[in-house]
Structure 1
């Protein structure tokens, strides 16, 4: 008898030791007490515009953490009654549910009922080492961790963590993100029926999603509402009311970033410094405050896309009206002309290989002239197919938009704006495709020639011959290159005479930022997109500000600005005034490249600098005969500036003349001081130390 007892005792002790060893073995891979005490789920980071409006999010799991107090009571009751009705009685494992599940599964000879508590579900949601595969090992790990969670946190905290981490389908985690995704509202605004529908998703979000199968979702909602009623969480009237509602506010549309090119630019900027700051933009729940003004972004998108459609229509019309031009585009020879026409008219899907050759593209950037803050950004068409940001990445020939750099070099060398050059052809030498030098004779846009012409008149009419002679006779190409570099043009500039015509490629953002120098009294402000980053608790991680440096004298900046004012008031940019009714004091320049391949307008007021470009990605392809900067680009710029200044309530103000510049009367013919034989007088500006004589 005694021997039998000791034998049984040894067997029990042996089995107990085996079980203990097994549990210790399983516990090796489970979260430590330190990890259990540190609840830190992956949370999305939110991007805000300058006025606090949400414009985008970065995330791997789309989750926004909210306090339990900010969730409606019926949402908590729905979760408890449906998923774990003895939540407040058990210690991590509900033994009643365990025994009931064993009996049901044994009788049915299959796995038909589970027994996971909210704590067990939280354990596998939080710790990937537990896993989701159905197995005894996983279940034991889950139970051990659930017990540890119950020992570490209060029931209130466990429920809060659960509702903030559970998966609701379609990439959303937590009730706040789910409420936003399915009903486009905050969790605190959910009705009883909506709470029941969300909780009803939990057993199988893919199967019960209202976006995929509304009827199944309604059935699941009914089950949850019935359980809530049976457990006295809602009244019979509430049950009947919400059970009868057919939802009509389901948000089927996938939310998109409000400024996709800008938010992608922000993302790339952050990825360059995330290690230095010790942040993870996809998991840390950061608040990223930016410079963008979404109101101005909307204006930009409206006017730029409208202009883009007009330019595309003109491109299409010219392409199909000129059979020779169509035939020259050799890549089209494999496609019937009718098919290409249907693609461009939207009647057929445009083949991917034709996008770069047949779609007119665009870029737009608007900056605060005083601090370089990016107010609006467009990097291409609104479909955002290729994520290629033409505002910051596309290097295109600027054409006449580059001329102000030549004029800056000349003015900086103390030449007055009344300096006259001969408006006659001049020969240049350039390298051909084989790298051989060949003679080239540039022409004016309208093929005109003339006599002696002042610098002001040369820029007003955008005369190529005057620009070329400035490089040949007044300032060498290398000096112009140095000025462009000083004005923060980072793209390589070729120091050849042809740079007078804007043949060296630049990006829209860098040239727009350089134009801001003229408005800002010679001070360059590096463009910035982010003003501040806060952690999920609201603590500031880093604040950003522009880097500023004086690159021109205030006098040179003002004189060039004054010349560019003439372009808008009386020159190639004049339609901004008489056609588009933009009345604020402004300065700017049109740009058109050879064969009408690029159309530009870059300009500024004392407050905003903006640049716009249109072209086809495959750069030699023409926008079409006559598609100049004036016709194809200026409309978007003028309309944006008009509406932007109106929206911001910016009053008209003049550019401030520095002390080193004076305005005096001169003889309109001789450009010298008036004398007794002067027939006509005009006002002109000069450096004080370089006034004309008589």
Structure 2
């Protein structure tokens, strides 16, 4: 062994041989205290109990794993490699991402748990009520959305393209949230110093619209992200886009593209042009502020931005862009427009009573004829716009023989006022109420040619006056109605009793309360135009009850019938002979009385005018064998018009509408076939002046303040001065007569009336009969031929004499003049 240097400490070794050297060896470098130079006490090193091959192997493994430590021999251990900055950054970033992801998952799970259970199922779209005409044409959509849902294939392709271009360009590539879009929005907002762009995807917007409240807070935003991710896993991109377009709000009460297209452009979503689609897409940023009904210029400016985005995305070419941008800004109507919306409102008012709560989309089939509806709207608006007599509003109702409402106009312009004056306004009808007085009188024994006396009449404290404050002496009942003589109507009301007149009016369809008072003869109790028009319809259809109705059938979108109007034959409420006489008398109102402006070429027209005190209300209700139509004109505030009477502007409106409604139809007479056989000359006043048509085509009801109060003691039979006493009658006009009729003398050719005058007729009691020529021209004698008087094999051919009346049933399913529609309804 080589001699050691002087003073060098000999270190101990353990074991012997090579194995011990490898196993454990201590050098001077392992000492804690330097070997040189001190006399400090030294502690004997204690041998390690775990020294040996096993210990060495364990240390070697630790060294390999941790990269440091000695090798157990005299060799110098390898130096540990130092990590660079990038490696440390990656290690830290990985750790942060790992724990951040765990925290994010936990946060999402927390807010997901807080979502209500129903948030995990897409709620049904609010039900839509699609209202169509009798021919199936769309009239309106009603419901919370204002329009039905449409598929992507059913709408204009420009709509989804425009929406994606301005709201979510990467819609088909992201997974519900768009990180790039969020970064872009953050950058744009930072540059602008304000929120000018959002980072929400269409999926997020759908989640917000369908599931969440509009609150702006971190919890709602996180829930929006959760639901967007869920929607992307549950539905396809096309399904999400379709749901979005059918549920997003476009302003002005329109939810969904179909409702918006109808609202702003009055067309279906499938017909929307490029420029219109850009406008709709632009509304999504601020539906109320950018609405073309409020600010068309702002809406157009936003639409141009949408067009630019579509051009950048190569969804349109330069030519399409220029053409659409060149379109002028147009102000949309401020509200739904069109008279058909009055009918739609009525449907929504009644639908719950017909089918209960609407929980799914339904289709309501109405009785409205859209062509007639447009004609009616045009007649009302054109007449009011051209009038200079201080008239601002009007209404029109037209029904057929079954009571089906074919047209209804509730005001001058629906967009301006949605109040339905045809249904909800109650007004005094004036003389338009008189037909019910005359019908009651006919049922109690009077006849059209019965002579009554137009003279000063006193009923309690009330003295009814005619329009011109003149009296005409003896006149027939028919002439009194044709020229709307107030004195005669009052006399007849007293004779038959106001209660009987009220009963007749209610039987015909008047539902409004009627005061039991003689003044009802002049129409002082308020009614609606709809019920008054419906009450005239039995005269046109042969005596059947004609209750106005609007809904034929209600189905769901699959065609399942939820409601259908029955086809039961309504009851007969007016005897056929009464119908014939009323039609004859009301026809004379139009041919020679106050309603001459309502005449139609080739058609038999009957009707009645009505005017109230101070010209506040003017009415005309008339009918043909085809339609019964009522018209009202006036002002909502009750302001007087300038001498507008029922025979002037209302008759003009009626004529304008009915002329269009009857165009191309074959003319048909009214039912009844009653002919009084005379064409009366104009009546003259008692002063002897020639009328020369001096009637002002009007009649005015007296001031209601001058009427006797309802509590006046008129319970006893009225004894009006000059009134015609009532003939003997039965309480039920359709029951067998309990009172034997007055015996009649044999008819002679000289008898101009064809029957003996009824008892009490003025001009026959206590005074000589006036010459017939002073009352009316001579006419042929009336002959009555009953069916049981005919031979069983008789065949009637040729022309029936004008005075003949055939009574009894007729074979063949009804009169040849019955309309086909009416035949179909009642059979035959």
**Length-normalised TM-score, structure 1:** 0.74
Partner residue of 2:542 out of 521, 527, 532: 521
Q: 2-side partners of 1:209 and 1:597: how far apart? A: 39
Alpha carbons 1:525, 1:546 under 8 Å: kept: no
Q: Which residue of 1 aligns with 2:508?
A: 487
CA distance in 2, matches of 1:687, 1:502: 38
1:543 aligns with 2:641: no
Question: 1:171-182 counterparts in 2 under 5 A?
Answer: 171-179=253-261
Displacement of 1:425 after TM fit?
2.1
- Aligned equivalent of 2:796: none
**Preserved contact between residue 201 and residue 220 of structure 1 (Cα < 8 Å):** no
Q: Would the alpha carbon gap of residues 194 and 617 (structure 1) be closer, same or farther in structure 2, given more than 3 Å must change?
A: closer
Alignment partner for residue 409 of structure 1, among 440, 446, 451? 440
Rg (Cα) greater in structure: 2
Q: Distance in 2 between matches of 1:191 and 1:17?
A: 49
Matched, 1:136 2:218: yes
Alignment match, 1:344? none
Residue in structure 2 matched with residue 558 of structure 1 by the alignment = 580
Q: Give the structure 2 partner of residue 682 of structure 1.
A: 780
Going from structure 1 to structure 2, the CA distance change for 1:413 and 1:14 (only over 3 Å counts) comes to same
Measured in 2, the distance between the counterparts of 1:529 and 1:584 equals: 26
Extract unaligned runs of 5+ from structure 2.
1-61, 63-94, 678-746, 757-770, 788-802, 805-828
Q: Does 1:498 align with 2:480?
A: no
Structure-1 residue corresponding to 2:322: 244
Q: Which has the higher contact order (CA 8 A, sep 6+)?
A: 1
Distance 1:43-1:277 versus aligned 2 partners, 3 A rule: closer
Gaps of 5+ in 1: 2-8, 316-358, 430-438
Residues 365, 551 of structure 2: 8 Å contact kept? yes
Contact residue 178 and residue 199 of structure 2 kept, 8 A: yes
Quick one: distance in 1 between partners of 2:212 and 2:543? 57
Aligned to 1:225: 311
The residue that corresponds to 1:145 in the other structure is 227
1:290 to 347, 366, 384: 366
Q: Aligned to 1:248, what secondary structure does the other structure show?
A: coil
* Contact 1:43-1:63 within 8 A present in 2 as well: no
Which residue number corresponds to residue 670 of structure 2? Answer: 655
- Residues 1:190 and 1:600: Cα distance change in structure 2 (over 3 Å): closer
> How far does residue 470 in structure 1 lie from its aligned partner after superposition?
2.2
Q: Residues 494 and 175 of structure 1: is their aligned pair in 2 closer, same or farther, counting only changes over 3 Å? A: closer
Q: 8 Å contact 2:248–2:255 — kept in the other structure?
A: yes
1:396 to 427, 436, 440: 427
Partner of 1:366: 398
The 2-side partners of 1:184 and 1:309 are apart by: 24
Quick check: 1:634 aligned with 2:651?
Answer: yes
State the SS of the aligned residue for 1:244.
Answer: helix
1:454 maps to which of 461, 468, 476: 476
Runs of 4+ in 1 over 6 A off after TM superposition: 12-15, 98-113, 206-210, 661-666, 685-689
Is contact 1:196-1:225 (8 Å) kept? no
Question: Following TM superposition, by how much is the alpha carbon of 1:119 offset from its aligned partner in structure 2, in angstroms?
Answer: 2.1
2:434/2:522 contact within 8 Å kept: yes
Find the aligned partners of 2:652 and 2:195 in 1 and give their Cα distance.
69
Match of 1:379 in 2: 410
Contact 1:528 / 1:546 at 8 angstroms: preserved in 2? no
* Kept in 1: contact 2:108–2:226 (CA 8 A): no
Q: In the comparison of the two structures, how many residue pairs are matched?
A: 603
SS of the equivalent of 1:629 reads: coil
Normalized per residue, the structure richer in strand is: 1
The separation in 1 between residues aligned to 2:574 and 2:424, in whole angstroms, is 26
Contact 1:72 1:190 in 2 (8 A): yes
Q: 1:31 to 1:183 in 2, by over 3 A?
A: farther
1:569 and 1:108 map into 2 onto residues whose CA distance is 78
* Counterparts in 2 of 1:684 and 1:643: CA distance versus 1, 3 Å: farther
Greater helix fraction, Structure 1 or Structure 2: 1
Contact 1:57/1:257 (<8 A) preserved? no
SS in 2 for 1:516: helix
* Offset of residue 114 of structure 1: 5.5
Distance 1:279 1:104, change over 3 A: same
Q: 1:687 to 1:277 in 2, by over 3 A?
A: farther
- Tell me whether 243-252 or 143-152 shows the greater mean CA deviation: 243-252
Query: Could you tell me whether the CA contact under 8 Å between 1:288 and 1:532 is conserved in 2?
Result: yes
CA contact (8 A) 1:522 1:550 kept: yes
Q: CA deviation at 1:305?
A: 3.6
Do residues 35 (structure 1) and 133 (structure 2) align?
A: no
Q: What RMSD over aligned residues (CA atoms) do the two structures have, in Å?
A: 4.2
In structure 2, do the counterparts of structure 1 residues 150 and 515 end up closer, same or farther at CA, with 3 Å as the change threshold? Answer: same
In structure 2, the partner of 1:424 is 455
CA contact (8 A) 1:259 1:297 kept: no
Q: CA deviation at 1:123?
A: 0.9
Residue 608 of structure 1: CA displacement? Answer: 0.6
Q: Is the 8 A contact 1:397 1:504 kept in 2?
A: yes
Q: State the alpha-carbon separation in 2 of the partners of residues 189 and 310 from structure 1.
A: 35
Residue 614, structure 1, aligned to residue 633, structure 2: yes
